[in-house]
Amino acid sequence: MSKEIMKDLKKKLGKKITDMAQPREKRIYIRVEPDKTPEVVEFLFLKYKCKFCTATGIDMREGIEIIYHLAREDKNMVINVKTLIPYSKLEIGSIGKKIKAFRWIEREINEMFGVKFIGHPDMRRLLLADSFPKGKYPLRKDFKHSDVTDEDYDYERSGI
């Protein structure tokens, strides 16, 4: 069963995939270039009957890696789409533009890692306070708790 899905994905996505791995029976990891990522994820969600689980941002030092986790429930398979965005150009096309389910997680990755999602309809902060200093990204590896002090908070922006 899982081999069939691998074959099927390879046939349908073809050259868009740069790497593919299946370390466990129910997990598939696909690596894709950043500019092809929205296309691949939209295909998996809209045409391949996948459910959106979540997306993870990881600071890999050379760039920010984003993993979109999708699940095909009728085949018991979690399909993970990975892409590495270099620090020199931290932006990627938004999937939330088309699919509502991705909007919140893109907002979260934007505030936590500073990745810009092009075309996202509503790029406000989701979890962090409005007064949290601009240009600080808490989930990056170089962020320390001492980086942000009380004086850095911009309370005027939050209206307090």
Partner 1 sequence: MKQTIIPLGPYHPLLEEPEHFKLYVEGERVVELDVEIGYNHRGIEKLSEGKTWDQVPYLVERICGICSTSHPMAYCLAVEDLVGCDIPKRAQLIRVVVCELERIHSHLLWVGLAGHFIGYNTVWMWAWKYRETILEICEKLTGNRNHYAMFKPGGVRRDFNKEQIDYGLERIVEMEKPIRLLTDAILDDPVIHKRLKGIGVLTKKEAVDYSALGPTSRGSGVPWDVRYDEPLDGFKDLKWKVIVQKDGDVFSKGVVRLLECFESISLIKQALVSLPEGGAIDADIREVPPGEGCGRYEAPRGEVFHYVRSDGSNMPYRHKVRAPTFNNLPTFKASCKGETIADVALITASIDPCYCCTERVAVVDKNNNEKILREKDLLKLSVDKTKSIMKKLGKTPPLYNMEI
Q: Which stretch binds partner 1 (CB under 8 A): 6-14, 32-40, 66-74, 87-95?
A: 66-74
Min dist. Cβ of residue 55 to partner 1 (A): 9
**Closer residue to partner 1, CB minimum distance, 90 or 132:** 132
Q: Do residues 77 and 70 lie in contact, with contact meaning Cβ atoms separated by under 8 Å?
A: no
Q: Which stretch binds partner 1 (CB under 8 A): 8-16, 35-43, 74-82, 150-158?
A: 74-82
Binding mask 82-121 for partner 1 (x = CB under 8 A): -----------------xxx-xxx----------------
126 DSSP 8-state letter: S
32 has which bridge partners?
Answer: 17
**Residues in 5-44 at the binding interface with partner 1, rule: CB under 8 A:** 23-24, 26-27, 29
Among 7, 10, 51, 157, binds partner 1 (CB under 8 A): 51
- With left for phi above 0 and alpha for psi between -120 and 50, is residue 76 left, alpha or beta? left
When asked if residue 68 is in the footprint of partner 1 (CB under 8 A), the reply is: no
**For residue 78, what are its two tokens?**
């979690």
Neighbours of 74 (CB within 10 A): 7
**The binder of partner 1 chosen from 5, 6, 20, 71 (CB under 8 A):** 71
Those residues whose C-beta lies under 8 Å from the C-beta of residue 90, and which sit 6 or more positions away, are 63, 64, 113, 114, 115, 116
Question: Residue 27, SS3?
Answer: strand
Q: How far is the CB of 124 from partner 1 (least distance, A)?
A: 9
Q: CA separation (Å) from 60 to 83, 108, 113, 139?
A: 11, 18, 11, 11
Residue ranges binding partner 1 (CB under 8 A)? 23-24, 26-27, 29, 51-54, 56, 58-59, 67, 69, 71, 73-74, 76, 78, 80, 99-101, 103-105, 125-129, 138-139
